């Protein structure tokens, strides 16, 4: 049986090694196939030794003002990139995997597959929380930006809009595979004060874009900087997160 490869990226201090380790644990628990996990990082300390670690890919021309933002993920489209070949699945650290990941490798092989952006469902924009790409066939995503980044930074608000606008071939995962905790599952105001978010059947991955993070939603905490935001930024403790996020 061929080995599957899942990659992630970690830089800075937003997420620690525990997030990498939980992600790897969820991946291995939700596959029936040989699967390796690779983390590209600037700090490998504390990461489970079963996870292969590699330095952050070179990105010589990324402007300093966006070098700590999601634009850095574009560096993963260069080739060669360590030993990667074929279809590789990328998963962000701030997710909860709730079903088998194997279908993500079987769906539309050889194509760039990505979650549809939940906050702008009317637009053809992918959310790069989870995507699969054919290594070596989308190098233009990295090379064009790295050659002259400023025009793209002026045209696109973020990296996933850039990738969606420039990708030659893009297809979305089935809608019920990937959902956003905040946009798909969190009850509207004021019901979020009284109703616990539910996990629908068939969901394979829940994305935690922005806040709250998985541990915060699990515990019913939504950190806010302004007191008035507590009027709507609220989540009840959500037990199913603890069942899967480990």
pLDDT score, position 2: 84
Q: What is the dihedral of CA 46, 49, 50, 55, to 10 degrees?
A: 80
Percent of the chain with pLDDT over 90: 96
Cα four-point dihedral sign 101, 104, 109, 110: negative
Give the model confidence (pLDDT) of 49-90 as tens digits.
Answer: 999 999 999 999 999 999 999 999 999 999 999 999 999 999
Predicted model pTM? 0.96
**Residue 170: C-alpha distances to residues 13, 128, 131, 177 (Å):** 32, 12, 10, 17
Give the model confidence (pLDDT) of 209-235 as tens digits.
Answer: 999 999 999 999 999 888 899 889 999
The contacts of residue 145 (CB under 8 Å, 6+ apart) are 71, 74, 152, 162
pLDDT score, position 225: 82
Residues of the chain with CATH 3.90.550.10: 4-172
Mean pLDDT of 42-51: 98
Closest alpha carbon to 8 in 93, 70, 66: 93
Domain range 4-172, its CATH number among 3.40.50.2300, 3.40.30.10, 3.40.930.10, 3.90.550.10: 3.90.550.10
pLDDT at 127 over 80: yes
Indicate the angle between helix axes 139-147 and 159-166, nearest 10 degrees: 120
What's the token pair of residue 224?
A: 């806010």
d(CA 27, CA 48): 13
Locate tokens 């068939």: which residue? 202
Specify whether the CB–CB gap between 86 and 75 falls below 8 A.
no
pLDDT score, position 130: 98
Average pLDDT of the residues of the chain = 97
Give the model confidence (pLDDT) of 133-165 as tens digits.
Answer: 999 999 999 999 999 999 999 999 999 999 999
Would you call 89 helix, strand, or coil by DSSP? strand
- 155, exposed or middle or buried, with CB in 10 Å at 0-12, 13-18, 19+? exposed
What's the token pair of residue 12?
A: 């800075």
> How far is Cα of residue 66 from the mean position of the Cα atoms in its chain?
18
């Amino acid at each position: 049986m061929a080995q599957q490869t899942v990659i992630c990226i970690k830089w800075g201090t937003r997420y620690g090694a525990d997030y990498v380790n939980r992600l790897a644990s969820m991946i291995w628990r939700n596959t029936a196939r040989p699967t390796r996990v690779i983390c590209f990082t600037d700090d490998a300390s504390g990461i489970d030794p079963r996870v292969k670690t590699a330095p952050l890919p070179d990105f010589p021309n990324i402007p300093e003002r966006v070098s700590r933002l999601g634009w850095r993920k574009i560096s993963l489209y260069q080739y060669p990139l360590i030993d990667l070949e074929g279809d590789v699945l990328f998963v962000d650290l701030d997710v909860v995997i709730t079903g088998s990941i194997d279908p993500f490798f079987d769906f539309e092989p050889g194509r760039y597959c990505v979650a549809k952006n939940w906050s702008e469902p009317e637009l053809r924009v992918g959310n790069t929380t989870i995507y699969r790409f054919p290594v070596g066939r989308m190098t233009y995503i990295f090379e064009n930006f790295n050659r002259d980044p400023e025009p793209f930074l002026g045209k696109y608000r973020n990296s996933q809009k850039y990738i969606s606008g420039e990708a030659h071939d893009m297809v979305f995962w089935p809608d019920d595979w990937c959902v956003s905790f905040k946009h798909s599952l969190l009850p509207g105001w004021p019901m979020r004060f009284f109703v616990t978010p539910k996990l629908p059947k068939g969901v394979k991955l829940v994305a935690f874009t922005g806040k709250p993070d998985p541990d915060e939603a699990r515990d019913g905490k939504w950190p806010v900087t302004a007191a008035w935001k507590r009027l709507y930024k609220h989540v009840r403790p959500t037990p199913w997160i603890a069942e899967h996020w480990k």
